Every structure is written in C-alpha cells, then in structure tokens.
Amino acid sequence: MAALATQTPTNRAAAVGEIVTEADVGALNAALADRGIAAERIISILPVAAQTLAVASPARFRVLYRLH
C-alpha cells in the first residue's frame, strides 16, 4: 500500500502535514525516510483501525508532522 500525503493549507508559520501508511513499522520508517521527515518534526502517530465491513481496508498509521 502506498503512503498518501496531504498538506493542510494555512497561513501560520508552523504548518502541519499528514501521511497515511500501512500499520507496519518498516513501512512507516520507509515513508518517513522517503519524505525526509526527521523524528523531531513528528507531532503524533495515530493508529487507524482496520475496517472489515462494507469497504474493507487494512490497519494504518496516520502521521502528523511539522512541514518546516
């Protein structure tokens, strides 16, 4: 599963970005390294539960990080 990236538009200096990856530490580390996101820029890593009804989707990590 490819990581999705979005940026929250804002006029504040400390803008926040978001990526969503598979709920696997290796995939998480690879996505962070690909984007050059260092540990000190990470705000939080939120687990997103898998969905089994209707449209199935695997468990994921949602990462919020500082853009600058």
Residue with tokens 């890593």, as numbered in its chain: 45
- Pairwise CA distance, residues 61 & 47, whole Å: 5
- Pairwise CA distance, residues 26 & 68, whole Å: 24
pLDDT digits (tens, 9 = 90+) for 7-66: 656 556 569 999 999 999 999 999 999 999 999 999 999 999 998 888 889 999 999 999
Helix (H, G, I), strand (E, B) or coil at 56: coil
Contact by Cβ (8 Å): 35, 19: yes
Contact by Cβ (8 Å): 56, 32: no
- Give the per-residue pLDDT at 3: 66
**DSSP structural state of residue 36:** T
pLDDT digits (tens, 9 = 90+) for 15-29: 999 999 999 999 999
- Give the per-residue pLDDT at 48: 93
